[in-house]
A and B are shown apart, each in its own frame.
Chain A
C-alpha cells in the first residue's frame, strides 16, 4: 500500500511514527550488502611465477620488472582474476564491443589530411632529414642475471 499525506491525515497524527517506520522498512534499497562471499579454497591456485615466465613477460612488455614488488603485484592481479572462475559462462559468447550489432561507418581509404610531415616529425627526439632514427634492430634484449627469483 502506498501511503500518502492524505491517508496519514485520515489515520490522524497519532499514527505518524508508526507509519513512517513502516514506510522506511518498505524501502527498495537493501538493508545489508547483498554480495555472496567467495570461498578462496574453491579458486584455482596462482601458478608459480618463475624466472623464465618473468623474462618472457619482460620481453613481451618491453619493460623491466626489476623487483620483487612487481612480481607480487602480478600474483595479486592473477589471484583476483581467478575469482571469475565462480561465474558459469558455458555457452556465452565473448563480448568484444558494445556496438557489435550496429553498422558503423568506415570512411574511404583516401588521404584527406596531408603535408604534415614536419608537424609529425617535430615530436621525435631524434631525426635525420625526414627519417626517424632507431638503434640497430634484430638484437635480442640483454638477459639479466639478477632478476627476481
Chain B
C-alpha cells in the first residue's frame, strides 16, 4: 500500500478501496518504524489524524467533490512555516519558533485535503547538500540501509503523550518555550545502532523530504531548491524531484536562503504525481510579489507520449570532472533512447557552465549575509542572556544560534559586500549570472526544446566518506549540475533512471524553458516509461511487529 504512487492512492480512495484514516495510520506506523532514518524532525501525527478524519468526510456520499489531495499523507521541509508547529530550519536559532501562519504552499496542500505527517530534516537553513548539517543529526538514505527492525510504536505513543522535552539536554535556552511540541525522543533513540556507519547520505538539503517519500512515510513532499536542494536528494533517493520556474510557486512562508533563487520543490514517486502536486500548488500569490500573475493552466499528462520531433540538447559542459562512469553511461543511454524514438538529439554548448558554481557561491553568501540579519533574538528565535548591550546580545545569540557553515557564509558574504569588494565580487558574480542565464536563452532560442544532463556526479556517497571534506568543498561538488538552473530561473526535473553498480539510484535531469513545465514533464514521463526504475519498496517492514 505504501509503495503506491500518489495517483493510485487517490484512485483507491475515490473507489473506496482504502480510507483516508487507514492510509494515515499506515503512514504513521511506517514513520514510527523508520525513525532511525531521521527523516522527520517534528512528527505531526495528531494533526494528521484530524486532517485524515476531515478528508474521510469529504469522500462520503453527498459531500461534493473531495479536494485534489484529499486524504493523501504528505511531509513538509522544516523551513516552511506551519501554523503553531515548530519550524526550526534544523537550527538552534529557530528551535523555539512556532510560526503564527502557514506558508502558502502548506496552506494550499491543506486546502487540497492533504494530511501532514511531519516536518522533515534538512541541512541548517538549507545550507548543505547531504542533510548532514542538522542539529537533529544526519538523515540516512534508505537505499541499501541495514534496518534494525526495532519496534518503535510503543515509544511513539509515549512521545505523543509527553509531547515535550529538549533535543539538546544541556541548554535550557532551547526548551523554555511552548513551541517545543511534536518533539520525538532523544537523538540516540532515533539514530539506532551507533556502530553502523556504512550507510549512504540522503542528499540535500531537503534530504528528509526525499527519504520520507522514498521510504513510504508519505506520498509526496515539499522541499526547497536554491541550488539543487530538491533535485540532489531526489536523485540519491531514487524519486522524482521537481524544481519549477522561478515565479510559479509562492515563497511566502518559505524561510529564505537566497531570495533570487529559492523555489519550493516537489518530491514524488512518479512524474504524474509531481504534476498532481504542481497543479495543486502553482499560481499567483498576493503575498509573494515574485510569483507571476499569469493564470496557471493545470498540467495533465497523457499515458501515450511521443517524443518524435522533440529537440533534446546535450550540453557538452555537463560532463564535469569527477563524474562517475555509471552516470555518464546512464546519460548516454538515455540520449540514445531519445534518438531512437525519433527525437532530434544534438550536442549544444552552455559555455559559462564551469563558472556557474563560483558565481552561485558568491551570490549565495551575499544574500545569506543579508537574509540572516533578521535573526537577532529579540522578536523571535534564540535569545541568550547577555544583557550588556543590544549588539552584544545580537552577537551572542547569533553565535550560539548558527552553526559554522551559516556563520562562514555570513562572513564571506559580508566580505564580498564590503564597499571595496562590491564591484569585484558581488557585481562581477551578477554579471556572470547574466552570461549563464543568456547561455540557456541562446540554446532555447536556437530551437532546442529541452536539455538532458546528469543530476549529480555519482550515486549517493557514503556518509563516512562525505564528512571527510568541509561543507564548502562538498557543495561545490554536489551542486555542480543543479545550480546553473537556479541562476537562470528555468525549471528542471530529475527522474530516477537506473541503479549504479553499487545498487544505488541514478537520476537524470531534464531542463525546460521558462514556464515550460508541461513540455518538460511530458518528456520526463516518457523517460520514466522507458526506464521502469525499480522503486524502493519497504513493505516488508509491515510484516515486522
Contacts and interface: CB of A to CB of B under 8 A. Distances in A.
A66 B404 CA distance: 11
A57 B435 contact: no
Contacts of B365: 77
A39 to B, nearest CB: 14
A70 B415 CA distance: 13
Given A76-B472, A77-B408, A28 B431 contact: no
Interface string B464-493: 000000101000100000000000110000
A61 B394 CA distance: 10
Give the residue among B98, B340, B416, B431 with the most A Cβ atoms within 10 A. B431
B245 to A, nearest CB: 9
Contacts of B183: none
B317 A81 contact: no
Nearest to B389: A139
A32 B320 CA distance: 8
A35 B335 contact: no
B499 interface: no
B229 to A, nearest CB: 17
Interface string A88-105: 010011111111001111
Contacts, number: 223
Given A80-B476, A98-B437, A134 B292 contact: no
A133 B383 CA distance: 11
B378 interface: yes
Interface string B24-53: 000000000000000000000000000000
A141 B317 contact: no
Given A99-B247, A125-B177, A140 B286 contact: no
B145 to A, nearest CB: 31
Interface in A50-83: 56-58, 60-66, 69-70, 73-74, 76-78, 80-81, 83
Listed from nearest, the 9 A-B pairs whose CB atoms lie closest are: A98-B489, A94-B430, A119-B100, A139-B389, A123-B380, A89-B431, A95-B434, A28-B314, A77-B412
Interface of B: 96-100, 176-179, 246-247, 260, 284, 286, 289-293, 314, 316-317, 319-323, 328, 331-332, 335-336, 339-340, 345-347, 352, 354-355, 358-359, 361-362, 365, 369, 376-381, 383, 386-395, 398-399, 402, 404, 407-408, 410-412, 414-416, 418, 425, 427-435, 437, 470, 472, 476, 488-489, 514
Interface of A: 2, 4, 23-24, 27-30, 32-36, 56-58, 60-66, 69-70, 73-74, 76-78, 80-81, 83-87, 89, 92-99, 102-107, 116, 119-120, 122-126, 132-137, 139-142
13 contacts: A62-B376, A77-B472, A80-B472, A81-B358, A85-B428, A92-B432, A105-B291, A120-B100, A123-B99, A123-B100, A125-B383, A133-B378, A135-B392
